[in-house]
Amino acid sequence: MVNRSIALDTVFHALADPTRRAVISRLLMGSAPVKQLAEPFEMGLPAFMKHLSVLETSGLIRTEKRGRVRTCRIDAERLAAAEDWLSEQRALWQGRTDRLAAFVESRNPPEERP
């Protein structure tokens, strides 16, 4: 799926920043308005909003504006997608190294060690 690949692009890119990962961690404890989320960080609102929009277009969070306050909450589905990709790759790796170990054990050639 091309879509899935693009989704992984945006999700991993969103996660590749400590500020955004901190926002995720914070939102895991419950939804919060933008101002409150931005408080711990030493940057202006505009910069922080860019981080939020990266998170939102990646699908990791959803936001809703009611009155003048925008509330953010997490959407764990994309988090799971990223985790799935990683665990899939690691499973392949695990299987391959297991087979490799078996192979080495079965032949065990005295390899040169320079």
Partner DNA sequence: TCTACAGTTCGCCACATGGTGAACCGATCC
Partner DNA sequence: GGATCGGTTCACCATGTGGCGAACTGTAGA
User: Using CB under 7 A as the criterion, which residues of the chain lie in contact with DNA when the complex forms?
Assistant: 13, 16-17, 19, 33-36, 38, 42-47, 49-51, 54, 65-71
Binding mask 21-60 for a second copy (x = CB under 8 A): x--xx--xxx------------------------------
Q: Which of 45, 69, 92, 104 binds a second copy (CB under 8 A)?
A: 92
Residue nearer to a second copy on the CB measure, 45 or 69: 69
Burial 52-74 (b: 16+ CB within 10 A, else e): bebbbebbbbeeeeeeeeeebeb
Residue nearer to DNA on the CB measure, 44 or 110: 44
Burial label for 106, CB within 10 Å (0-12, 13-18, 19+), is exposed
Whole-angstrom CA distances from 58 to 13, 25, 33, 69, 113 are 8, 16, 19, 22, 48
The token pair at 109 is: 């050639």
**Footprint on this chain of a second copy (rule: CB under 8 A):** 5, 8-10, 12-13, 15-18, 21, 24-25, 28-30, 74, 76, 79-80, 82-83, 85-87, 89-90, 92-93, 96-97
